[in-house]
Amino acid sequence: MDHEKVNILLVDDQPAKLLAYEVILKELGENLVVASSGREALEYLLKNEVAVILVDVCMPELDGFELAAMIREHPRFRKTAIIFISAIQVSDFDRLRGYEMGAVDYVPVPVVPEVLRAKIKVFAELYRKTRQLERLNAELEDRVRARTAELEESHQRLVESEQRRSLAIAAGKMGSWDWDWINGDWMWDEGQYQIFGLDPKNFVVTPANVQALLHPDDINELRKAQAQFAKGVKSYEAEFRIVRPNGEVRWCAGTAAVTVDPADRVVRVSGVTIDITERKHAEERQNLLAREVDHRAKNALALAQSIVRLTRGDNVKAYVESVEGRINALARVHTVLSLSSWQGAEIKRLVDEELAPYSLGNRISLSGPEVQLRPATAQTLALALHELVTNSAKYGALSSQAGRLAVSWQDGTGVLELIWEEKGGPPVQVPVSRGFGTRSVIASIESQLGGKADFDWRPEGLLCRLSVPLFAKAATPERTAMREPANERASSGL
């Protein structure tokens, strides 16, 4: 089938950015439509079909979130792919709001042309395939109705042959068959053999051989259809799995209709088989994505809730700064995890992100092998590192130019051993009681990760040792929040 162009709507109030998007997406060969405002975009959508909508989050009058919500209210565009472009660093709450409004993805500015083209191409192809499948389904229904009418009027061999040719394969994904109910003879067309992965020269179509190709859990569908036909049912539809000779499992949709004699007895069953494996896989991926988004959103909200509930401050300003710092630390580790498709985070990247604002000169030294952390471990450890960095910047080595910080780590047989050593800062005094920062680190490492946190308040600088299991199952944020000891008062320092 020739490449069928689809409409891609580009929405932005800045002409220069619209021009840039057109240049980036031109090579996709699709029909690019530009709109300089949300209202202009809505006017176009009411008159035209659109495969993908690329919209800027920040626009006057009608921003991207509002536009997405209005688009989703229209039944025709409830499943249209909407991709947000954001020139600012969006928070996880903004991302969650965007997904609730109907966005399927975010693209940050500056835009990476290859990434933008790849994302647009995927959704354009999905739209095109969906439309093609809808047309094929409509054609299939028309053909089945026409064929049933013809078979009821005449049993002539010529008519049967013409009807089988009218149900010719479509791109190797469709096949047709006939079953003589009286003598048991089967007839398959080329498409049917292709779907089952068989060579017509080496396969004899018999009820036993066909049944052997069905998935064991779906054999009852065949028996159910036979029972229905025997009771007088004229047609039957079902989805089932087949197992090709090479072991590959494929999903199929089958439609069958019967031909009866003047005595209303079944004499022939004719049917159509469509390979719907790709559609089934797409549905599975969509369901998995929905579960992933739900799981990650719950984790992030649980951590944020713990941060807000447990943070202390001498005044409103101090409280806000503490909350913002911890939320930002969570956002940074989410960025690192996103880059790995939530497969994990490398410990050095995690430490680098937290210490980036203080890395001028040679005040900080890092050493250790590559160690990959699981997502739950990375999130919790990032918050603990943030508390250590914040304390050091306020009271420790990072608060003076003469201060020095050394962070080292090693994998001790499945346990991450991290050493935080400060020197050269203001003189250190052993605290009378544990501050909130100290308790946060201990709670994060010990309660949530099942590790251990030791603090040595040396006069020349803090020495902290963290031991974190790498493989033991960590508690999830929604089930284990940072708990504050009831008999200790929170303070601003570690």
How would you write the pLDDT of the chain (494 residues) with one tens digit per residue? 456 889 999 988 888 888 988 998 999 888 999 988 888 888 898 888 888 888 888 887 777 778 787 887 877 777 788 888 876 555 555 566 656 665 667 787 788 888 888 888 888 888 888 888 888 888 888 888 887 777 677 656 655 555 555 454 545 578 888 888 888 788 888 888 888 889 988 898 888 888 888 898 888 877 887 788 777 788 888 888 999 999 999 999 888 888 888 888 888 888 888 888 888 888 887 776 666 555 455 555 555 555 555 455 566 666 666 556 556 655 665 666 555 555 677 888 888 888 877 766 688 899 999 888 888 788 888 878 888 888 888 888 888 888 899 999 998 788 999 999 999 989 888 887 676 667 778 877 888 788 999 999 998 999 999 999 987 554 444 444 444 433 333 333 45
State how far the Cα of 177 lies from the Cα of 190, in Å rounded to an integer.
Answer: 10
Side chain identity at residue 88, one-letter code: I
Residues in the chain: 494
Categorise residue 408: left if φ over 0, alpha if ψ from -120 to 50, beta otherwise.
beta
Tokens describing residue 70: 């209005």
Q: How far is CA 233 from CA 160, 176, 224, 407, in A?
A: 21, 20, 11, 75
Q: How far is CA 350 from CA 357, 407, 418, 445, in A?
A: 13, 12, 12, 15
Measured in degrees and rounded to the nearest 5, phi and psi for residue 242 equal -120, 160
State how far the Cα of 252 lies from the Cα of 126, in Å rounded to an integer.
Answer: 19
Tokens describing residue 1: 């089938």
Question: Secondary structure of the chain: what % helix, strand, coil (to 5)?
Answer: 45, 20, 30
Rounded to 5°, angle at Cα 89 from 83 and 94:
60
State how far the Cα of 84 lies from the Cα of 107, in Å rounded to an integer.
Answer: 6
Of the candidates 375, 385, 386, the one whose C-alpha atom is nearest the C-alpha of residue 473 is: 375
Q: Collapsing DSSP states into helix, strand and coil, what is residue 132? A: helix
Q: What pLDDT sits at residue 330?
A: 58
Tokens describing residue 246: 């090479």
State how far the Cα of 407 lies from the Cα of 364, in Å rounded to an integer.
Answer: 8
Q: What pLDDT sits at residue 100?
A: 63
Residues 256 and 236: beta-carbon distance below 8 Å = yes
Q: Hey, what domains does the chain have and what are their CATH numbers?
A: 7-130 (3.40.50.2300), 154-275 (3.30.450.20), 285-469 (3.30.565.10)
Residues 118 and 126: beta-carbon distance below 8 Å = no
Categorise residue 208: left if φ over 0, alpha if ψ from -120 to 50, beta otherwise.
alpha
Long-range Cβ pairs for the range 245-252 (8 Å, 24+): 245/197, 245/198, 246/197, 248/197, 249/215, 250/195, 250/197, 250/275, 250/277, 251/275, 251/276, 251/277, 251/279, 251/280, 252/195, 252/276, 252/277
Q: What is the DSSP annotation of 58-74? A: --SSS-HHHHHHHHHHS
Q: What pLDDT sits at residue 1?
A: 46
CA 494 to the chain's CA centroid: 38
State how far the Cα of 180 lies from the Cα of 182, in Å rounded to an integer.
Answer: 6
Residues 310 and 482: beta-carbon distance below 8 Å = yes
Strand ranges in 338-480 using DSSP code E only, listed in sequence order? 345-346, 364-367, 372-373, 404-411, 415-423, 452-458, 461-469
| Those residues with Cβ within 8 angstroms of residue 281's Cβ, 6 or more apart along the chain or in another chain | none
Residues 51 and 124: beta-carbon distance below 8 Å = yes
Q: Collapsing DSSP states into helix, strand and coil, what is residue 403? A: coil
Side chain identity at residue 310, one-letter code: L
Residues 254 and 238: beta-carbon distance below 8 Å = yes
Measured in degrees and rounded to the nearest 5, phi and psi for residue 159 equal -65, -40
State how far the Cα of 357 lies from the Cα of 494, in Å rounded to an integer.
Answer: 20
